């Protein structure tokens, strides 16, 4: 396991690079973030942000989503891929939010993961962004980069990575840390060609050290 001092340096460097650490998905209402995360599965956030304005204009309330025909919802989100399954999940999720949670996005891992299409990654993001709690969002960027850094052991299993991050990343830092992983993964530590030379995290990165 990487030393606490090294982890702290990584956290602080990322804060300097990305002080805002904002979620890249655009939303105004809590449930809109929940739906946007569902749409982002195997799709880019940029694409989701292109699709959701028209979707939310057509279905401006949770009730309108609950009453929607999944086929019509699917037409709005077609370019996100797997649109039939995503549309069905969104409509059923809206119905469940109204029926079981008083029209509110629930605030526990157990409640969130009981909703269709919501796994631990989505639930962690909601807990962090909506409720200000710890949120260890293990998406592809986070899994890849923490493995390269040596914060995790290189596992590709999201649950295993989450468990390892919980041992290293303080809860109050977790949500923003994971958002910064996404930003860092897009502009520096990319999947195909990580820019190790001159990387601001190279001092504490196992992969960068191995290349010397």
Model's pTM, two decimal places? Answer: 0.93
Least confident range from 24-38, 85-99, 198-212: namely 198-212
22 pLDDT band, cuts 50/70/90, is confident
Indicate if 139 belongs to the active site.
Answer: yes
DSSP structural state of residue 141: H
Question: Which member of 89, 121, 129, 204 is catalytic?
Answer: 121
Instruction: Give the mean pLDDT of 205-212.
Output: 88
pLDDT, the chain, mean: 96
Q: What pLDDT, in 10s, does the model give residues 3-16? A: 999 999 999 999 99
Q: Give 200's contacts (C-beta < 8 A, 6+ positions apart).
A: 13, 17, 188
CA angle 119, 121, 127 (to 5 degrees): 100
Percent over 90 (pLDDT), the chain: 94
Would you call 115 helix, strand, or coil by DSSP? coil
Q: What pLDDT, in 10s, does the model give residues 86-103? A: 999 999 999 999 999 999
Instruction: Give the mean pLDDT of 105-109.
Output: 97
**Cβ neighbours of 32 (radius 10 Å):** 18
Q: Which of 85, 24, 95 is nearest to 59 (CA)?
A: 95
Q: 70 with 91: CB under 8 angstroms?
A: yes
pLDDT at 67 over 90: yes
Question: Which member of 86, 89, 129, 139 is catalytic?
Answer: 139
Instruction: Give the mean pLDDT of 58-76.
Output: 98
For residue 1, the model assigns a pLDDT of: 76
Which residue segments constitute the domains of the chain, with CATH numbers given?
A: 4-21+136-210 (1.10.1670.10), 30-129 (1.10.340.30)
Indicate if 100 belongs to the active site.
Answer: no
Q: Which of 186, 191, 209, 141 is nearest to 17 (CA)?
A: 186
Instruction: Give the mean pLDDT of 142-165.
Output: 97
Query: How far is the C-alpha of 122 from the C-alpha of 25, rounded, in Å?
Result: 12
Q: What pLDDT, in 10s, does the model give residues 158-180? A: 999 999 999 999 999 999 999 99
């Amino acid at each position: 396991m990487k030393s606490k001092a090294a982890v702290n340096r990584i956290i602080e460097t990322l804060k300097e690079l990305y002080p805002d650490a904002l979620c890249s998905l655009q939303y105004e209402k809590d449930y809109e973030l929940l739906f946007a995360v569902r749409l982002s599965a195997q799709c880019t956030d940029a694409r989701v942000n292109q699709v959701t304005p028209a979707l939310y204009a057509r279905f401006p309330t949770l009730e309108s989503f609950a009453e929607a025909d999944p086929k019509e919802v699917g037409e709005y989100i077609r370019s996100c891929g797997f649109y039939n399954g995503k549309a069905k999940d969104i409509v059923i999720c809206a119905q469940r939010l109204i029926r079981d949670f008083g029209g509110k996005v629930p605030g526990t891992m157990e409640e969130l993961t009981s909703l269709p299409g919501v796994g631990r990654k989505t639930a962690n993001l909601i807990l962090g962004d909506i409720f200000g709690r710890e949120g260890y969002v293990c998406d592809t960027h986070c899994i890849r980069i923490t493995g390269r850094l040596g914060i995790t052991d290189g596992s590709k299993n999201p649950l295993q990575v989450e468990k390892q991050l919980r041992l290293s990343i303080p809860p109050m830092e977790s949500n923003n840390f994971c958002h910064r992983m996404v930003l860092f993964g897009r502009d520096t530590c990319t999947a195909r060609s990580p820019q190790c030379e001159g990387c601001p995290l190279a001092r504490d990165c196992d992969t960068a050290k191995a290349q010397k």
